Amino acid sequence: MMLVDLLACAHSLVHPGKGILAADESTTTADKRLEQFGIKSSVEMRRKERDLFLATPDIEKYLSGVILYQETLTQKSKSGKYFPKLLWEKGIVPGIKVDEGTEPMADNPDELITNGLIGLEDRVAKYHKESHTGFAKWRAVIRIDGDRLPTAQALVENAKRLATYAKCVQETGMVPVVEPEVLLEGKHSRARARAVIETTMKAVIAALEDQSLDMSGVVVKTAMALSGNKSGRKDTPEEVAEDTVTALVNSIPKGLAGVVFLSGGQTPDQATENLRAIAHYAAKAGAPWPMTFSYARALQEEALEVWRGKEENVDAARDIYMSRLEKVFNAARGA
Ligand code: 5MM
């Protein structure tokens, strides 16, 4: 893919209202999610789960891209087509998760560092060449604990790795989706989440600039600014919108291709209503880049609950999935 294609791909991913389905749960996470809904996991059951979400007719009305896990690249839909091909034929860009998960940091085991730089260049080139992926995602995980965490060391080291991966992906001709996730877990206030998102994003942008990335071909994936899930506080969508957009406007330069949100453990309704309020506030505040969704749980969990791994439930599960996609699509447009 030439640079011009890369930029076109970055812009198509954040096409107004359309968003990205994050179907890139690693095997361990995918198994945990299936088991949560009473589904016995196996390679074939994970393939059926991916088929449920990727082969639903008309998802291209709402989705610009889907992030896949490596196992899914070489699996086929019920129709006999490889999943990346199926998506391209629908006009949806297939992407790939290229990080290899997190481990505790050597100097501070309470914080996490993301692995996957070893052999990255070869893996990225292979995914692009053999599976025709158009973008690649790397997730760093940032924990909040009062004023103690995150440490500057965790922010700088994770930002450096995000920038190194992003450079490698861009040089291969794919769009990097750069995800520093600030976790919802904890007793912290929404103000603290906002400050940490802003500081984290500043560290990431500085690292990307150090690597001379073409920012117009970069998509950033972020959490929303929310009170911690053990804070006892429930934020209104307007509060979330103001703090989230302010943190991002203060840290992300004009010229970036776009910003996408993860759902991070919010209910599907919360993730929808908060996104709608963000779209309204962003328009009012004049945020300089498009913003949309890149949800995993908030798009899939209602359908998994209905599906429960059974063929006879596929149609009903797809109905509820399409209904959620439509709600989130409208919310992203502020409608
Ligand atoms: C934060 O997780 C990302 C978005 O998902 P939610 O909308 O559910 O928060 C998601 O893309 C995540 O990176 C993948 O599911 C991979 O997660 P694991 O834990 O398997 O690396």
**Banded model confidence at residue 197, pLDDT cuts 50, 70, 90:** very high
Any atom of ligand 1 within 6 Å of the Cβ of 22: yes
Any atom of ligand 1 within 6 Å of the Cβ of 139: yes
The C-alpha atoms of residue 20 and residue 81 are separated, in whole angstroms, by: 21
Residue closest via CA to ligand 1's atom 13 equals 139
Q: In this structure, is the dihedral angle defined by the CA atoms of residues 38, 231, 241 and 158, taken in order, positive or negative?
A: negative
Active-site hit among 49, 221, 301, 302: 221
Match 């991966």 to its residue by tokens.
165
Q: Ligand 1 center to residue 226 CA distance, Å?
A: 17
The C-alpha atoms of residue 268 and residue 321 are separated, in whole angstroms, by: 11
* Alpha-carbon separation of residue 222 from 91, 148, 206, 267 (angstroms): 25, 21, 16, 17
Any atom of ligand 1 within 6 Å of the Cβ of 188: no
Evaluate if residue 24 carries a pLDDT over 80: yes
Long-range Cβ pairs for the range 117-126 (8 Å, 24+): 117/161, 117/164, 117/165, 120/165, 120/168, 121/168, 121/172, 123/98, 124/98, 124/168, 124/169, 124/172, 124/174, 125/172
Query: Dihedral of the CA atoms 244, 247, 248, 252 (nearest 10)?
Result: -170
What confidence score (pLDDT) does residue 1 get? Answer: 47
Match 């074939």 to its residue by tokens.
44
- Give the residue-averaged pLDDT of 186-207: 98
Contact 243, 282 (CB under 8 A): no
Q: Each residue of 63-96: pLDDT tens digit?
A: 999 999 999 999 999 999 999 999 999 999 999 9
As given in the structure block, the two tokens for residue 14 are 């954040």
Q: Which atom of ligand 1 is nearest the CA belonging to 22? A: 11
Q: How many domains does the chain have?
A: 1
| Backbone φ, ψ for residue 267 (5° rounding) | -70, 160
* Alpha-carbon separation of residue 87 from 15, 159, 163, 240 (angstroms): 16, 31, 28, 33
Q: Each residue of 230-288: pLDDT tens digit?
A: 999 999 999 999 999 999 999 999 999 999 999 999 999 999 999 999 999 999 999 99
Enclosing domain of residue 94: 2-332
Any atom of ligand 1 within 6 Å of the Cβ of 29: yes
Match 């150090």 to its residue by tokens.
210
- Give the residue-averaged pLDDT of 84-110: 97
49 counts as catalytic: no
3-state secondary structure of 183: coil
DSSP 260-326: EE--TT--HHHHHHHHHHHHHHHHHHT-SS-EEEEESHHHHHHHHHHHTT-GGGHHHHHHHHHHHHH
Amino acid type, 1? M
Here the CATH number for the domain that contains residue 308 is 3.20.20.70
Contact 222, 262 (CB under 8 A): yes
The C-alpha atoms of residue 197 and residue 247 are separated, in whole angstroms, by: 6
* Alpha-carbon separation of residue 214 from 4, 36, 127, 217, 249 (angstroms): 12, 41, 21, 6, 19
Give me the chain's average pLDDT, please. 97
179 counts as catalytic: yes
